[in-house]
Amino acid sequence: MQTLTVSLPGRSYPVYIGRGILSRAGEMIRRHLGEVTVCVITDDHVAPLYLGKVIASLKEAGLKTASISLPHGEQTKSLDSLKFLYDFLCARHITRKDVILALGGGVIGDLAGLAAATWLRGIPLVQAPTSLLAQVDSSVGGKVAVDLPQGKNLVGAFHQPSLVLCDPDTLDTLPEEFWRDGMGEVVKYGCIADEALFALLEGAATGGREAVSRHMDEILLRCIAHKAGVVAQDELDTGWRMTLNFGHTLGHAIEACQHYDGLRHGEAVSIGMAAITRLTEAQGMTAPGTAQRLENLLHALHLPTAIPDIPFGDLLCAMSRDKKSAGNDLRLIALDRIGACRIITATPDFYRPLFQPEQTSGRAE
């Protein structure tokens, strides 16, 4: 088992990464949080696979349990689900001394996290991420939220977990499309901060999921270590944490323009990373050859790089609603080279060259 720490003043917490660690959830929670009641929140894909194991471990450690399984999918990240959870927590008499354990992907982590942030003005949260995206990104750092019909993650909070239990074995059952989504975020870490990770992925990607998975322990460690460092430096996302949004401005705009019913998040971010790198390289901000190297890796992982057929005006509108905007300008993340990045400020028009006929190499026809 490997342990990383998210260092925050007075609120540091461990991230335990280990195969089979879900079977030790009870012992770990008891050690860190004492004799609590653990309320496990999960979804109907994850529950049949892992809930029994977690509940058995909690009981074995002498902890009282409650559990609830919600429908899988982004629609569950809603105010209606939050209200449903409040009713459940109320019925089970969950107090401030008790704990919510989020067992699942990013949807469950964000929703259960917001319930923990707000129930009785905040109770302890344990994240047990089971998707690749949740393991490398959403379970660490304290961002919790639900969606509104008007947009994603519009109601949320910062609520750091008390501990994170990351079990790489759970990835064996993760469906292919969600594995690819997570790989988009893994590539992101290689791009912004870790050339050795990027090179490892380049070496393994042509061998497919099986070859990449052989390196999963190292991949998780590198990604989570980077995220933990960034969160420690900028918990509330006012500065360097924005670099985690490399490729996300255009990616989010594509998702919004397709009403979250088109490309998946990881696919949209893949396109966003490739697009901005083509642009910054053309402008001399990024080392020559970086865009091609990035596109080669994304293609080897079966992630797309071509911008779908969406009118530029629609994408501009969506980008100008980006949470990272500074007045009329956008804060964008540009690579200096693979493994190093910086924050730049640009107007949304920055993306226009990608939509002009003479430079449409990256556009879907």
Distance CA 119, CA 85 (A): 9
Q: Binding to ligand NAD by residue 25, rule CB under 6 A?
A: no
Distance CA 138, CA 324 (A): 18
Over the window 137 to 166, marking each residue x when it contacts ligand GLY by CB under 6 A and - when it does not, the resulting string is x---x-x-----------------------
159: left (phi over 0), alpha (psi -120 to 50) or beta: beta
Distance CA 287, CA 280 (A): 9
Q: Binding to ligand NAD by residue 143, rule CB under 6 A?
A: yes
Is 191 in contact with 198 (CB distance < 8 Å)? yes
CB of 358 to ligand NAD, least distance (A): 36
Indicate which single residue of 110, 194, 281, 322 sits in contact with ligand NAD (rule: CB under 6 A): 110
CB of 109 to ligand GLY, least distance (A): 11
Q: Binding to ligand GLY by residue 339, rule CB under 6 A?
A: no
Beta strands in 175-280 (DSSP E): none
Is 151 in contact with 317 (CB distance < 8 Å)? no
Q: Of 303, 20, 4, nearest to 172 (Cα)?
A: 20
Is 354 in contact with 360 (CB distance < 8 Å)? yes
Q: Binding to ligand GLY by residue 237, rule CB under 6 A?
A: yes
Distance CA 151, CA 289 (A): 36
Q: How many Cα neighbours within 13 Å face the side chain of 211?
A: 11
Distance CA 255, CA 64 (A): 41
> Residues touching ligand NAD: how many (CB under 6 A)?
30
Partner from ligand NAD, ligand GLY, none binding residue 133, C-beta < 5-8 Å depending on class: ligand NAD
The gap between the terminal CA atoms of the chain, to the nearest Å, is: 48
| Angle in degrees, CA 72, 99, 149, rounded to 5 | 35
DSSP secondary structure letter of residue 211: H
Q: Binding to ligand NAD by residue 51, rule CB under 6 A?
A: no
Q: Binding to ligand NAD by residue 303, rule CB under 6 A?
A: no
Indicate which single residue of 85, 164, 244, 268 sits in contact with ligand GLY (rule: CB under 6 A): 244
Q: Which stretch binds ligand GLY (CB under 6 A): 55-63, 64-72, 237-245, 321-329?
A: 237-245
> Residues touching ligand GLY: how many (CB under 6 A)?
6
Indicate which single residue of 26, 104, 272, 339 sits in contact with ligand NAD (rule: CB under 6 A): 104
Q: Binding to ligand GLY by residue 136, rule CB under 6 A?
A: no
Partner from ligand GLY, ligand NAD, none binding residue 241, C-beta < 5-8 Å depending on class: ligand GLY
Distance CA 119, CA 96 (A): 8
Over the window 146 to 185, marking each residue x when it contacts ligand NAD by CB under 6 A and - when it does not, the resulting string is ------xx----------------x--xxx--x--x----
Binding region for ligand NAD (CB under 6 A): 43, 45-46, 49, 72-74, 77, 104-108, 110, 130-131, 133-134, 137-138, 141, 143, 152-153, 170, 173-175, 178, 181
Binding region for ligand GLY (CB under 6 A): 137, 141, 143, 237, 241, 244
